[in-house]
Homo-oligomer: A and B are copies of this chain.
C-alpha cells in the first residue's frame, strides 16, 4: 500500500511504466479480438512477441500516448477505466500509423528489429494497420456517448494523414526559392503528424473522464505543443545526436536530406544557396551541420521547442487538475523533452 500513498515525485520513466502496466490488460484484450494472424503482427509491433509468436527479445515503445490518456483522465478525477479506454484507442492508432508510415518511408528497421512490413510483407502490414485502425474506432464507439469521443479521434486521424502527406511532399520540394518549405509550414506539419495524436490522447482521457469541454480543449492544445516540441528535439538529435544514444548514424537526417526544422531555419538565413548545395550533394554532412549551427538553425529550433513546452506547462498550470496526476504530467514533459532543452 505504500506506493499508493507515496508523495515522492515520480520520474518520467516511472510514470510511463505505471501507465503501461495499467493499460496492458485492456490493450491485450483488444488485440486478442483481432484475426489471430493480424494479432500476432500487432503483438510484434507492440514489442510483446517475435515473429512466430515467441516471447519478445526486445522491448516496445515508451507508451507516451497511453500515458497521456491515463493522466488526462486521472487529472480530471475520472475513473481508471476511462483512461484505459482512451489509452487503448490512441495506442492502437499510433501503432497503425507506425506500420503504414514505415511502408511509405521504406524504413526496414525500428528499435533494432525489422519493421512489420520487413518481417511479414507489405500486404500483411497494410492489413494489420487497417485492423488496428478499425479496432481503435470500435473501442471508442462501444462506450456510452461514444459519438463525441469518436469525433475527437477522427479529427486527430485526419490530421495524422494530412501531416504525413505534407511530410512526404516536402521531400520533393526545393531547398531554396519561393517553392521552399518555410518553418511555419514545417510547424503545421509537425503539429498534425506528431502533435494531433498526443493532444487527442490527453483530451480523450479527459473527455471520457468527464471533464468539461474547455478542459478537454486545453489538454488537446497542450498535447499538440508537446508534440511539436518532441518532434523538434527529435530533429535536433537527428543531426547532432550521439549515435550511441540515438541508435542512428551520425548526421543521419542530413545524409537522408530530410527537411527538418534546424535545416529550414538555417535556410532562411543569408547564404542559403551555399547550404542548399552542400545538403543536396549529400557529402560533408559534418560541414552542413556546422553551417546550420552557425546560421542559428539549432538554437532557433530549440527556442521554438522551449516556447512550446513553456506554453504547454502554463496551460496545464491554469487548469483545475488533481495534484498527483498533474505532477506526473509535468514529470513526463520533463522526461520527454525538458532534459534535452
A binding-site residues for B, Cβ under 8 Å = 34-35, 37-38, 100, 103-106, 122-124, 126-127, 129-131, 133-135, 137-138, 140-142, 144-148, 150-151, 153-155, 157-158, 160-162, 164-166, 168-169
Contacts and interface: CB of A to CB of B under 8 A. Distances in A.
Contacts of A37: 165, 169
A131 B144 CA distance: 26
Contacts of A141: 147, 150-151, 154
A123 B126 CA distance: 10
A45 B65 CA distance: 34
A123 B150 contact: no
A146 B138 contact: no
Nearest to A130: B161
A124 B157 CA distance: 16
A131 B165 contact: yes
A105, A142, A145 interface centre (most CB from chain B within 10 Å): A142
Contacts of A150: 137, 140-141, 146-147, 150
A307 B329 CA distance: 59
9 contacts: A103-B122, A106-B123, A127-B164, A127-B165, A129-B130, A130-B161, A133-B133, A133-B157, A134-B160
B35 A165 contact: yes
A161 B100 contact: no
Nearest to A103: B126
A162 B126 contact: no
| Top 7 A-B pairs, shortest CB-CB distance | A104-B123, A147-B147, A134-B157, A138-B154, A146-B147, A35-B165, A141-B150
Contacts of A145: 147
A4 to B, nearest CB: 35
A146 B142 contact: no
A127 B104 contact: yes
